[in-house]
């Protein structure tokens, strides 16, 4: 294991991979830490190592010398409430006093069900769901460490994402594999309502930008999204046009999700989050765009990259 690195990415899922790709492309020395020490199609020059991120001492050892650490690791979706706070607490303890900066990968669960308007970073953390409360508690704990002066912390928040490697997302394998095979894409909730989606490559770029910039510290930021008010149906229509396939889709509502949850733990855990797909779910990222000057990838370009990836990685 070599120690000549400046950036550490915890987790190698779609977001962790996007961060690593962004850093690697600009010539940074990058280490990715996950459970297995393996990563399919790892970006060139990226070191992938195994580590127990529930152990603060292991976190301290694996990140020693890093300027920025990106926290993109998470337990299985069905184990969030039980394991996620413990995971993040170990990371906070392992990094405190190290001189590194921590960039958190967050979502929008902590706001809860927002009535009307677009979601901004100053909304109260009013979640009533188990996973939303967990997210709110974790975020508050991390920023309290920042305020205490023990660790610099910032956070990037994204909506449901899509793109290369984003298989488990609601706009992932259940949408693109059927669509490209001429079958109905499987959507969640109401397809006719505005629902912001984040291109995972933009999420990675934005998180790296937060790692670079001191003015990001101590705050949470909504990362840029192109056409945030597009509906799921419109997004599928656009993807189908780009792919040259029929724009077919079906939608799974709360009842069908609950029935699926009798057999599939991830579906069961999705039921409490269905409010996101039963009302408009729109994100305002203007604070980030004004401050850092980054704009999201045009949706057509992002969908083309997504379609190319799914076609080159058959199910």
Residues 152, 95 contacting (CB under 8 angstroms): no
Tokens of 101: 């900066």
Q: Which of 24, 21, 30, 283 is nearest to 161 (CA)?
A: 283
Which pLDDT value is given to residue 266? 78
CATH says 7-160+197-222 is which class? alpha beta
CA 235 from centre of chain? 19
- Indicate the length of the chain as a whole number: 315
Q: Do β-strands 7-10 and 30-34 pair in parallel, antiparallel, or remain unpaired?
A: parallel
Which pLDDT value is given to residue 258? 74
109: left (phi over 0), alpha (psi -120 to 50) or beta: alpha
DSSP 116-179: SS-B-TTS-----SHHHHHHHHHHHHHHHHHHTTSSEEEEEE--EEESTT--SSTTSHHHHHHH
**Domain regions of the chain by residue span:** 7-160+197-222, 166-196+227-282+298-312
* pLDDT mean by block of 10 residues, the chain; 315 residues: 78 98 95 97 95 98 97 95 97 97 98 91 96 97 97 98 96 97 96 98 98 98 98 98 97 79 77 92 98 98 98 96
Tokens of 284: 């305002």
Cβ neighbors of 236 (< 8 A, separation 6 or more) are 175, 179, 185, 187, 191, 247, 249
CATH says 166-196+227-282+298-312 is which class? alpha beta
Q: Which of 237, 260, 261 is nearest to 175 (CA)?
A: 237
How many Å apart are CA 152 and CA 97, to the nearest integer?
9
How many Å apart are CA 72 and CA 39, to the nearest integer?
14
Which pLDDT value is given to residue 268? 82
Which pLDDT value is given to residue 261? 67
Q: Is the whole-model pTM more than 0.85?
A: yes
């Amino acid at each position: 294991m070599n120690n000549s690195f400046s950036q550490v990415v915890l987790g190698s899922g779609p977001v962790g991979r996007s961060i690593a790709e962004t850093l690697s492309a600009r010539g940074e020395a990058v280490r990715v830490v996950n459970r297995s020490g393996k990563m399919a199609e790892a970006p060139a020059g990226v070191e992938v190592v195994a580590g127990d991120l529930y152990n603060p001492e292991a976190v301290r050892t694996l990140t020693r010398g890093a300027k920025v650490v990106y926290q993109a690791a998470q337990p299985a979706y069905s184990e969030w409430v039980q394991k996620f706070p413990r995971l993040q607490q170990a990371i906070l303890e392992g990094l405190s006093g190290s001189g590194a900066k921590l960039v958190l990968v967050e979502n929008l669960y902590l706001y809860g069900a927002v009535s009307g308007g677009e979601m901004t970073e100053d909304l109260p953390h009013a979640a009533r769901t188990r996973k939303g409360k967990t997210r709110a508690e974790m975020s508050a704990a991390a920023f309290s460490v920042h305020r205490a002066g023990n660790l610099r912390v910032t956070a990037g928040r994204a909506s449901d994402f899509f793109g290369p490697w984003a298989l488990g997302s609601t706009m992932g394998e259940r949408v693109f594999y059927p669509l490209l095979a001429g079958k109905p894409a499987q959507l969640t909730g109401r397809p006719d309502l505005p629902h912001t989606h984040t291109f995972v490559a933009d999420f990675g770029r934005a998180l790296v930008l937060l790692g670079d910039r001191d003015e990001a510290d101590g705050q949470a930021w909504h990362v840029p999204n192109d056409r945030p008010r597009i509906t799921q149906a419109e997004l599928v229509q656009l993807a189908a046009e780009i792919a040259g396939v029929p724009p077919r889709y079906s939608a799974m509502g709360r009842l069908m999700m609950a029935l699926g949850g009798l057999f599939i733990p991830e579906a069961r855990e999705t039921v409490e989050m269905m409010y996101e797909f039963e009302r408009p779910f729109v994100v305002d990222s203007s604070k980030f765009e004004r401050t850092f000057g980054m704009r999201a990838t045009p949706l057509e370009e992002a969908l083309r990259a997504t379609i190319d990836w799914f076609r080159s990685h058959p199910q």
